Structure 1
Amino acid sequence: MIRNFRTALHTWTIHTTPLDVCLDAAAKAGFDAIEIRRSDIVDCYDRGMRKQDVISMIRDSGLQLGVLGTEYGWFFTPPDEQKRLFDVLHETCEIASALGCDMIMSAPGQVTGTVADATAATRTAGAIVAEHGLKLALEFNSQHPVVNRTEVLRQIITGAGQQNCGMLLDAYHLQRSEGIRGGLSTVSGAELFAFQYSDVPPQPAPGVRRPIDRLVPGKGIIDWNHLFTRLSEIGYHGYLSYEAPNPEFWQRSPYEVCAEGIEITKTLLERAQQSLNTTA
């Protein structure tokens, strides 16, 4: 049976939208939660808000904070910059804790280095997050020169030896690396902490580290029946976070984009269940 997954809106899907509007649009569309980026928090600070103001705004929205992103880059940066990024991570944990969110996420960012660098940094980052009683979900990027597939991510997490660290996998990057089937074939529910999703165009732009050509699920080449079936089989119980950055979406009403996203997600989940019933 296809699990009754909880859904979250990733704010990059409606990029350029102020955080208070993101919260309102996600709630009105029917998402169970929201995934907020560090850049959203910084935008609030730039508008004169304090940390407590941001916490209060999110809490008052009534929408659960499902995942909170910290600033990327700490995998590979020099010591001084890494210290700054770890200070940001501390603050990110404080915000998450205040809002009852137990999941911090991060990705490699635009810099690069070695697997050994990333492993050592993850050991430190995991310990910081553990101080706050939280989990750290790490993502790979199919276009990153090093951290670009499931097995590399697993090597980093396993080498770090922090029990509160796990994988964040993204349907878009899975498809563009090993394919959905290959990328998920060895993944267990225990090691998968978070999952993001959008579709992949037939001819995605090569070599772009932050690809913004993502499509509404069902409009690209991903096999959604297999994806949702596989996530159900392994017992994944975290959020499905709708992350579909695309300039075309940013020109539309965020309320319309959110409503479309949740409607299509529910339709594809129903189709996956129907397909499973047919083959049973």
Structure 2
Amino acid sequence: MSFTWKSTAEDVANAYGIDLKGKVAIVTGSNSGIGLETSRVLAMYHAKVIIPCRTIAKAEGAIEEIKKTVPNADLIAMQLDLGDLSSVRAFAQAYLDLNLPLHLLINNAGIMGCPKSYTKDGFEAQFGVNHLGHFLLTSLLSDRLKASAPSRVVIISATGAKFWCPASGIDFDDLQAEKSYQSFKRYGQSKLANILHAKELQRRFDAEGADVKVTALHPGVIQTGLQQSMGIRGMIDMICATRYLREALFGDTSHLKNIPQGASTSIYCALSPDVIKGEFYCDNAPNVSGLHERASDEDMAKRLWQTSEKMVGLA
């Protein structure tokens, strides 16, 4: 089945017409932007969707918004702060205590191009929230994903990894940005970490014989709340960083997506029977050209996994 960058999340879901009754999904960052739209479309097709947000009030606000168009949506508000590992652990345990299966884990939440800051646990914020928080969450829920198979993990990354992360890849000697900090290089590194995590996670599931598909994706250039984390310097860095973004924002606007279009690849990776495990997707199709040159580096992925385990206290 063929889709384009113009396809919306509803277009993709309608094309497959899959009834998700009995299926359970977690969508991080589901209170706004493409996370909210992803949750709404999954709920349209009768999935039970967990709405985890930094506060219960935000989660309840998202539920109220979704029910405007999906009145019978089956939604559960929960608290999750990806910048606080104790919150990640508490959320994972609270979810496991619900005794629900888990068929879809969509790691959507993130921050971008923010001024230098640190998480509650002392990690550089973009690496901490975009990668480490999701790494711990996925690790704590992996057994439930395997027990609920066939299941999927969808990790929202970005082609920003290719444009902003240095060719050398993950800077293991300065993960805490103590030596230098450039907001979009750090963002690019966190997005490369997302891709490496997806590929290593798939290899590990395969080695165990688990029927779990893992994909990473670039949703496109979208005007969402993600940009709110940037300072003025961050916005300037983003605009000046690459010809790709300059054209998308100011010249060729044909690929500047709205939110329903931006959520389409998340829905595609969640629902399509044609999804290839371990692949990187963009515009509802596999995309190799958007990958960082170290994205398939198995040694780097393994080192990142081992380093991440130590950082979040799993080792």
TM-score of the superposed pair, with normalisation by structure 2: 0.34
TM-score under structure 1 length normalisation: 0.37
